[in-house]
Structure 1
Amino acid sequence: MSFILFRNANVYAPSPLGLKDVLVSHGRISEIADTIVLEASFEVEIIDVEGHILCPGFVDTLTHVTGGGGEGGFATRTPEMNLSHAIAGGVTTVTGALGTDAVCRSHEELVAKVKGLKEEGLSAYFYTGNYHYPVKTLTGSVQKDIMLIDECIGIGEIAIADHRGSQLTWRELASVAAEARVGGMCAKKAGIVSVHVGPGDERLDRLFEVAEKSDIPLKQFYPTHINRSELLLEQGVKFNQLGGYIDFTASSTPDILASGEVKCAHALKQAIAAGADENRITFSTDGHASLPNFNSKGELVSLKVGAMTSMHAEFKDAVQIEQIKLETALKVVTQNPAKVLQLTSKGQIIKGADADILILNNNSLAIESVLAKGQWLMKQTIAVRKGTYE
């Protein structure tokens, strides 16, 4: 149906707006008011959501939509995501990436998957490149990929401080970032450089080196896995205070946490307490990535798969366990990631924005309904849409 009217919603935009009516028409939010009175003959679906939170759909800036992994051999390649995985996690916008493997995982496959997810109802984008340098692309150029392919919004995840990366020099990384920057400027896109930060001792040193020795600003880089360790988190706070965005990974395992990773929700609390700007912190799922645990010799000890429900789980824990304000926890999964990717119609409940909407239980924060671009994906806890082959 083209018109949906939510009545008596406790709206978080993600800032709290109080009880409001919200009108959706033709895939967008067309009105927000204390009371909306319709004087028209067209058919409208009216839903009373009293006692529920209405908030933006989650924006996931790192999802391995075609699968990832392979660090333990071909049998450890992780499976691709399905539409239902995003719906269950409240994710209405995904950003696909390649990781360790760009031989058996191709950009052609990545773009096809992104376009397929769009056809199934999500908003979907991707990063060109992967962990390695020289950068593999579709057109032969990072700049061309960003400028000529609608869904391409940057490059990533390019790896630093990781034995699986290409051990880039600061000049090589600066060159990659310059290409992405120019491509973004010319195409009016983010042109962001998504940076996989591994467990190596150099941590974010390479990014600080580029900012110090070149004309590339620090905010061109968007480092993820910043909650990998206490030391990295401490350095990430510094990066944030200098104007950069930092990303915490929601997917984890008991083994990884036992090895020193800071739980995502707790990392948010620590970062804010240390003086980080909450407007430049995000969560991402790392969905369908492999979650390898290596020993001190770089040998694979265990491997699990990232879950797209992890971001919602960590959002809940941030509010319910870490006692972070609901609007702050919502920012890091909606407004902030939309801003870093320059997706102006995403991550907010404002007039004219895409109607990507979640209805949450006011007490448990459980996801009860999901709307993407004005179309129902989940309604009153029942999935009303699945992937083509689910």
Structure 2
Amino acid sequence: MRSYLFKGAEVFAPEAKGCCDVLCVGPKVVALGDLGGVCIPGMEVVDGRGLLLLPGFIDNHVHILGGGGEGGPATRTPEMPVEDPLTGGITTVIGVLGTDDVTRSVASLVAKARGLWAEGISAWVMVGSYQLPVATLTGSIRSDIALVEQVIGVGEVALSDHRSSQPSLEELLKIASAARVGGMLKGFGGKVNVHMGDGPRGLSMLREAAQGTEIPVDQFIPTHVNRNPDLFREAVAFALDGGVVDLTTSTTPQFLEEGEVKCSRGLKEMLHAGVDPSRICFSSDGQGSLPVFDQGGRFKGLTVGRVTSLWEEVRDAVQEEGVPLETAVRVITSSPALFHRLPGKGFVAEGFDADLVLVDQDLRIRHVLSRGVMAVRDRELLLKGTFSPR
């Protein structure tokens, strides 16, 4: 069992802790503070002076099996290799399906998550896709969440999108109720990840669900809410009313020119409007397709989302928008960990998982520790997937 002592780094847990030492033994953080006298056989001391130590990043919306397919079989995007998230400081992912539940399945999604776990990062999944009824393993949303180790919620259910199954309010409420009860039985969040399209209905159905029933507004996590200015403004109001919102970091110059709100700028604007950062998270939509459709809904082309965009947008929020690091880093650490109730994730604290990222003063990633294993050292990727060249 490997042990690491990170000496003298400035710790953001994500709250600022100042300069201190962090001791990791095996997969856990066991101590923080002035640990100069600690000596464990085989312990490796890592000089953290001049570096910033952060919790491992959580990407709560990734197409780990690949996504896309809107333009035919040749547009199915590839699976995510474990090297991609580790390079970007991501030590935890939550996998989703998306549009294609025909050539991809929940069973394959769960198997991919297990594979990623075996290769060195933590991975959970949401059951279902854009289509209804929700695709499950056991025939029940509640049973999938309560009994299948990797399953923690439902998603991504699509609203306000021409690819959606156009669920009724009653159908959406039944999904949310089943996910919530399944989460309670498991001890996880049991959230419903909601893909938001460009349609004019926006978040209206989620507001109606929260206002007309006992289901709390934060049972839903609407994602892609920065895709246009009108939806973004709705998302600000939704978060101010206690909702949780998810901004997508993968984008293209064309999307930004057409009005998509850049995540770093969106975070600043939400904070300025009074939204608590605990109600905001970023996700990459990694390996998902970023399709372009014309006004008639006809496919025109696509690019692929990148998990490495997650840290890039947090970095831009700090360096270009002036958001304090301890606030900005919450949207990819403590906030998603608390939303989903991920055990041992999102914080640098005794008893939590040894998922750590050390960055330099320019916020470039230097070291990554994933469940106590050194995955990136001095910017060199050490931990590689089963089929990667050695």
Normalised to the residue count of structure 1, the TM-score between the two structures is 0.98
Tell me how far apart the structure 1 counterparts of residues 39 and 332 of structure 2 sit (CA, whole Å): 36
Comparing 132-141 with 68-77, greater Cα deviation is found at: 132-141
The whole-number CA distance in structure 2 between the counterparts of 1:24 and 1:188 is 26
Of 254-263 and 118-127, deviating more is 254-263
- The amino acid that maps onto 2:19 is L
How big is each residue's C-alpha offset from its partner over 1:311-341, in whole Å with a ceiling of 9 and x where there is no partner? 0110110011111101111111111111111
Give deviations 1:211-255, integer Å, cap 9, x for gaps. 122221111001100111111111111111111110000000111
1:331 aligns with 2:330: yes
1:18 aligned residue = 18
Specify the alignment match of 1:124 in structure 2: 123
Q: Please say if 1:95 is aligned against 2:94.
A: yes
Partner of 1:110: 109
Identity %: 45
Q: Deviation per CA, 1:115-171: give whole Å up to 9, x if none.
A: 000000101000001111111111111111001101100000000000000111111
Pair 1:250 & 2:249 matched: yes
What SS class does the counterpart of residue 228 from structure 1 fall into? coil
Whole-angstrom distance in 1 between the partners of 2:300 and 2:254: 9
Determine the C-alpha separation between the residues in 2 that align with 1:88 and 1:239.
33
Q: Which amino acid is the alignment partner of residue 364 of structure 2?
A: A
The runs of 5 or more residues in structure 2 that have no matched partner are none
Q: What is the one-letter code of the residue matched to 1:102? A: D
Q: Could you tell me which residue of structure 2 aligns to residue 387 of structure 1?
A: 385
Kept in 2, the 8 Å contact 1:58–1:333? The answer is yes
Structure 2 CA distance for aligned equivalents of residues 247 and 51 of structure 1:
32
Mapped contact 1:255–1:293 kept (Cα < 8 A): no
Q: Deviations over 1:55-75 (max 9, x none)?
A: 111001000000000011110
Distance apart, 1:268 and its partner CA: 0.6
Distance in 2 (CA, whole Å) between partners of 1:249 and 1:9 is 30
Q: Look up the match of 2:197.
A: 198
Q: Retained in 2: the 8 A contact 1:58–1:334?
A: yes
Number of the residue aligned with 2:373: 375
Aligned length: 388
Alignment RMSD, CA only? Answer: 1.0
The aligned runs of 1:29-108 (5 Å cut-off) are: 29-39=29-39, 42-108=41-107
Q: Distance in 1 between matches of 2:74 and 2:254?
A: 21
The letter for the 2-side match of 1:172 is E
Q: Give a deviation string over 1:264-304, Cα, whole Å, max 9, x none.
A: 11111111112211111000010000001222221222300
TM-score by length of 2: 0.98
Q: For 1:231-380, what aligned pairs fall within 5 Å after superposition?
A: 231-362=230-361, 364-380=362-378
CA deviation after TM superposition for structure 1 residue 36, in Å: 3.5
3-state SS of paired residue (1:215): coil
Q: Distance in 2 between matches of 1:361 and 1:212?
A: 46
Is residue 2:28 matched to residue 1:28? Answer: yes
Post-superposition offset of 1:39: 4.8
Deviation, 1:207, is 0.4
| Matching residue's letter, 1:267 | G
Task: Please state how far the C-alpha of 1:359 moved relative to its aligned partner.
Answer: 0.8
